[in-house]
Amino acid sequence: MKRNDIILAPSILAGNHANLSESMKIIEDSGASWVHLDIMDGHFVPNLSFGPKIVADLRKISKLFFDTHLMLDNPQDFIEAFAKAGSNSITIHVEPEYDKLGTLKEIKQLGCACGIALNPGTNAESILPYLEEVDLVLVMTVQPGYGGQAFREEMLPKIAKINEWRTEKDLDFRLEVDGGINPEIAKRCWEEGADTFVAGTAFFRAENKKAFLEGLV
Ligand code: DX5
Ligand code: ZN
């Protein structure tokens, strides 16, 4: 089986929003090469987080890969703003009604990698039309909106199925899991084919962040 290298993307959502530059430094010092940026609109998800200005200001202080996760009902209206703010990758959700293929294309035209995300209650089949187009598939392993929730075990077969399609179709998108991830759970997701791990609460709680990263799988 083909495998990508393993990437940890700590989510700054679980950092200190009164001092995000300190949170960014904590992520950089851990040795992680990605940071996950959770953007929420209070509509697609029942919470608000931060917008493109914060991403642009973080860009000025960091060279990490910016993995931007748009939890928005109208992501198509914000692609340019998040690309210009310095995102390296932009992931959109499959659930809302909008032109997803056109939006993925726009993300690529703006020079970013593109991803498609799906919620725990969404069938894996719903992302099939986009698999050939994307650089990343993000499997939500909690209902999005809040950090600190428990990983949903029933997502393991979904990860395995998407990984199977990746092999069958000879594609090389990254397979990212997001929600309730810690090193022990990451290992179980890795066994099913995941290679990219978002961790917010468990990462910021870990006393030794380098060990957290090294112990991942
Ligand atoms: C959830 C977000 C996640 C979140 C993960 O809505 O998409 O990225 O920050 O946080 P933890 O690791 O605390 O579940
Ligand atoms: Zn996320």
Which of 216, 213, 212, 205 shows the shortest CA–CA distance to 16?
205
10 lines ligand 1 (CB under 6 A): no
Handedness of CA 202, 205, 209, 211 (dihedral sign): negative
pLDDT classification of 90: cutoffs 50, 70, 90: very high
Query: Which residue among 38, 69, 152 has the greatest number of ligand 1 atoms within 8 angstroms of its CB, and so is best to mutate?
Result: 38
pLDDT classification of 46: cutoffs 50, 70, 90: very high
Taking only the tens place, the pLDDT of each residue in 18-32 is: 999 999 999 999 999
- Assign domain 7-214 one CATH number from 3.40.50.1950, 3.40.50.150, 3.20.20.70, 3.40.250.10: 3.20.20.70
Taking only the tens place, the pLDDT of each residue in 56-66 is: 999 999 999 99
**What is the average pLDDT across 83-88?**
99
Spell out the domain ranges in the chain: 7-214
pLDDT classification of 152: cutoffs 50, 70, 90: very high
| Residues belonging to the active site | 38, 178
> Which ligand is nearest the CA of 69, by number?
2
Contact yes or no for 173/104 (Cβ under 8 A): no
Contact yes or no for 54/18 (Cβ under 8 A): no
pLDDT classification of 157: cutoffs 50, 70, 90: very high
In the block, which residue shows the tokens 């992501």? 75
What is the 25 CA–ligand 1 centroid distance (Å)?
Answer: 19
Whole-number pLDDT of residue 24: 98
pLDDT classification of 138: cutoffs 50, 70, 90: very high
Distance CA 50, CA 41 (A): 9
11 lines ligand 1 (CB under 6 A): yes
Whole-number pLDDT of residue 3: 73
Q: What average pLDDT does the chain have?
A: 97
What is the 117 CA–ligand 1 centroid distance (Å)?
Answer: 13
What is the 188 CA–ligand 2 centroid distance (Å)?
Answer: 19
pLDDT classification of 217: cutoffs 50, 70, 90: confident
CA-based angle 137:141:142, to the nearest 5?
130
**What is the signed CA dihedral for 135, 34, 5, 166, rounded to 10 degrees?**
-20
In the chain, % of residues over pLDDT 70: 99
**What is the average pLDDT across 144-153?**
98
Residue ID of nearest Cα to ligand 1 atom 2: 144
